[in-house]
């Protein structure tokens, strides 16, 4: 029978952790904890800012009724000579709980406040009204746009107080440099194009809807 013989001086295995290794583990643990703490802080800051932007957008809806906007008789030409944003209509999508004021122009500051007209005519006019909105995940704007399907309904309120219903007929993604979805060749139809970011792959999600007779 085979036997394993141990020298009496070596038969005890030393499993103790040296002071150097112990200090290294502590340093790694403290550094990891610090990184986690910083990440949590940044996450809460981002969520807080998104929540504030959502509240501002909702205040726009409550402060500016469509009838009030119409009575002010603000023309599109005036927007090019002023840096002040104004509301040109409202977009409402019951399926995904969207109800936002549409701002007349699109820039980084205004996109933080609400959805914005990116291209095209005024709401409910002939042409392709392109509306851009940030994807704020659960803090809304266009975060749930991906849940829309063909034939889902989108309602647009214009400055005259009228509303028109549009029905989704296209859903696809594009590269950020692709602006083909803003084309105004609509064969005299009223079309709505909604654009938002896909936060996973960096592309743009496009939803197109048209008025039906």
* pLDDT tens per residue across span 77-124: 333 444 444 889 999 999 999 999 999 988 888 888 899 999 999 999
Of 129, 133, 166, the closest CA to residue 151 belongs to 166
Distance set, CA 2 to CA 5, 9, 128 (Å): 10, 21, 88
- For residues 141-161, give the mean pLDDT: 92
List, in order, residues 6 or more apart from 25 with CB less than 8 Å away: 17
Which tokens is 145 given?
């746009």
Sequence spans of domains, the chain: 51-211
The mean predicted confidence, pLDDT, of the chain is 77
Strands 87-93 and 153-157: antiparallel
At residue 103's C-alpha, the angle toward residues 101 and 107, to 5°, is: 135
Decide which of 139 and 10 is more confident: 139
Residues 158-182, mean pLDDT to the nearest whole number: 93
Mean pLDDT of 190-212: 93
Mean pLDDT of 54-66: 50
| pLDDT score of 21 | 67
132 or 200: which carries more pLDDT confidence?
A: 132
Distance CA 170, CA 167 (A): 9
Q: What is the domain class of 51-211 according to CATH?
A: mainly beta
Q: Give the best-scoring range by mean pLDDT among 10-19, 167-176, 204-213.
A: 167-176
For the four alpha carbons of 89, 93, 96 and 99, in that order, the dihedral sign comes to positive
Confidence of residue 23 (pLDDT cuts 50, 70, 90): confident
**Helix, strand counts (H, E) of the chain:** 4, 8
- Strand bridging mode 87-93 / 98-103: antiparallel
DSSP letter (8 states) at residue 8: T
Give the whole-angstrom CA distance, residue 88 versus residue 68. 11
In the predicted model, is pLDDT for residue 144 greater than 60? yes
Regarding predicted confidence, which is higher, 66 or 58? 58
pTM (2 d.p.): 0.65
Burial class for 94, CB neighbours closer than 10 Å (0-12, 13-18, 19+): exposed
């Amino acid at each position: 029978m085979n036997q394993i013989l141990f020298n009496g001086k070596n038969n005890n295995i030393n499993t103790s952790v040296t002071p150097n290794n112990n200090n290294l583990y502590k340093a790694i643990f403290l550094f990891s904890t610090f990184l986690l703490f910083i990440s949590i802080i940044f996450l809460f800051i981002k969520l807080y800012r998104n929540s504030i932007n959502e509240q501002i957008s909702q205040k726009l809806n409550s402060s500016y009724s469509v009838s009030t906007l119409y009575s002010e008789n603000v023309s599109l030409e005036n927007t090019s000579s002023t840096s002040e944003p104004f509301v040109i209509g409202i977009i409402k999508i019951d399926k995904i709980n969207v109800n936002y004021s549409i701002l007349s122009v699109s820039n980084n500051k205004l996109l933080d406040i609400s959805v914005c007209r990116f291209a095209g005519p005024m709401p409910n006019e002939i042409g392709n009204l392109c509306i851009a909105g940030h994807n704020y995940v659960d803090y809304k704007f266009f975060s749930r746009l991906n849940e829309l399907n063909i034939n889902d309904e989108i309602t647009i309120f214009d400055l005259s107080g009228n509303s028109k219903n549009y029905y989704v007929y296209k859903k696809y993604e594009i590269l950020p440099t692709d602006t083909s979805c803003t084309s105004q060749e609509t064969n005299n139809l009223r079309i709505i194009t909604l654009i938002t970011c896909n936060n996973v792959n960096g592309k743009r999600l496009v939803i197109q809807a048209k008025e039906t007779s």
